[in-house]
């Protein structure tokens, strides 16, 4: 499988007062094209820090100490170097946890999509913006595209808002999408539909997906491979079936034991 994202020995610290607090410690992770890799762990395990490091959305007091991140063979993150601005929104799309917060309540869906396309696709015409806006909503399995394009976020259900947010992440046709706890605020039925949508998008578009979640059951349904994080480190990773059916690390075993329905 062709390598798309390579995180190698990534160590990140945050400056808090007069000391450095480690956030990530020697993290390795790889995602291939057409592959879904889940990053799972409890709150504070470093999942979101890892995801945000790929797109350069870390706080100002946070810095890379060691290691690197490469996208399609090109280094985008290293100590003292941040080239994520050239890939964020173009080669890498991001879906955040709460669609209600990531969408501007004063802008219609049509305007959201147009703004993203005009910012990241130089020279795109008005007709092409409209065509690609309709096309991406159809990819999101939205049938009444005219109504959704004309709607404000509050006029849509939670599930539709999340589909629009995913559409914003893929409308520029990136090679990698990062989904950071993006199903947390959804009910179980809607979660299932969104997970199915992600699988379809990966299969149809050949993109890579980094799926960040605390939900092991969800990861087991969606992901090809899984990386379990604890205290800023990847403690176990591999094929999702092997990791979850035959966990080698005590931490992974405890996470699975905390799920009543796991068997």
Asked if 32 and 64 count as a contact pair (C-beta separation under 8 A), the reply is no
Q: Can you tell me the distance from the alpha carbon of 173 to that of 92, in angstroms, rounded to the nearest whole number? A: 9
Does residue 138 form part of some domain? yes
Share of the chain above pLDDT 90, in %: 83
Residue 131 lies in a domain: yes
Task: Look at residue 130 and tell me if it is in a domain.
Answer: yes
Give me the number of domains the chain comprises. Answer: 1
Instruction: For residue 136, give Cα distances in angstroms to 87, 164, 201, 226.
Output: 20, 9, 11, 28
Measured distance CA(103)–CA(105) in Å, rounded: 6
Residue 202 lies in a domain: no
Whether the pLDDT of residue 22 is over 90: the answer is: yes
The answer to whether residue 146 is domain-embedded is: yes
Domain that holds residue 132: 103-173
| Residue 117 included in any domain | yes
pTM for the full predicted model: 0.94
Residue 96: band (very low, low, confident or very high) from pLDDT cuts 50, 70, 90: confident
pLDDT confidence of residue 13: 97
What pLDDT score does 1 carry?
A: 62
Q: Are 40 and 65 in contact (CB under 8 A)?
A: no
140 domain residue, yes or no = yes
Does any domain span residue 191?
Answer: no
**Residue pLDDT, tens place only, 38-92:** 999 999 999 999 999 999 999 999 999 999 999 999 999 999 999 999 999 999 9
- Give the Cα-Cα-Cα angle 44, 50, 56 (nearest 5 degrees): 125
pLDDT tens-place string over residues 169-219:
999 999 999 999 988 878 888 888 888 999 999 999 999 999 999 988 889
Pinpoint the alpha helices (H) of the chain: 47-55, 99-102, 109-120, 126-139, 145-149, 158-170, 188-205, 216-222, 240-245, 250-257
Structure confidence at residue 122 as a pLDDT band (50, 70, 90):
very high
């Amino acid at each position: 499988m062709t390598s798309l994202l390579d995180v190698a020995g990534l160590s990140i610290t945050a400056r808090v007062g007069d000391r450095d607090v480690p956030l990530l410690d020697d993290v390795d992770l790889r995602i291939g094209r057409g592959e879904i890799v889940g990053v799972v762990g409890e709150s504070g395990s470093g999942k979101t820090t890892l995801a945000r490091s790929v797109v350069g959305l870390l706080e100002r007091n946070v810095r890379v100490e060691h290691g690197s991140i490469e996208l399609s063979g090109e280094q985008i993150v290293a100590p003292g170097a941040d080239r994520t601005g050239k890939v964020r929104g173009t080669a890498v799309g991001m879906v955040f946890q709460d669609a209600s917060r990531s969408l501007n309540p004063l802008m219609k869906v049509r305007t959201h999509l147009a703004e993203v396309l005009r910012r990241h696709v130089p020279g795109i015409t008005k007709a092409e913006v409209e065509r690609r806006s309709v096309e991406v909503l159809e990819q999101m399995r939205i049938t009444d595209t005219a109504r959704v394009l004309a709607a404000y976020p509050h006029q849509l259900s939670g599930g539709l808002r999340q589909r629009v947010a995913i559409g914003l992440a893929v409308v520029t046709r990136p090679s990698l999408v990062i989904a950071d706890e993006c199903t947390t605020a959804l009910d179980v039925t809607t979660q299932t539909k969104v997970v199915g949508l992600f699988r379809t998008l990966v299969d149809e578009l050949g993109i890579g997906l980094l799926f960040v979640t605390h939900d092991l059951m969800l990861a087991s349904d969606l992901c090809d491979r899984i990386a379990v994080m604890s205290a800023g480190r990847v403690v176990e990773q591999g094929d999702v079936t092997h990791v979850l059916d035959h966990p080698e690390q005590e931490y992974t075993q405890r996470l699975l034991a905390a799920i009543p329905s796991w068997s």
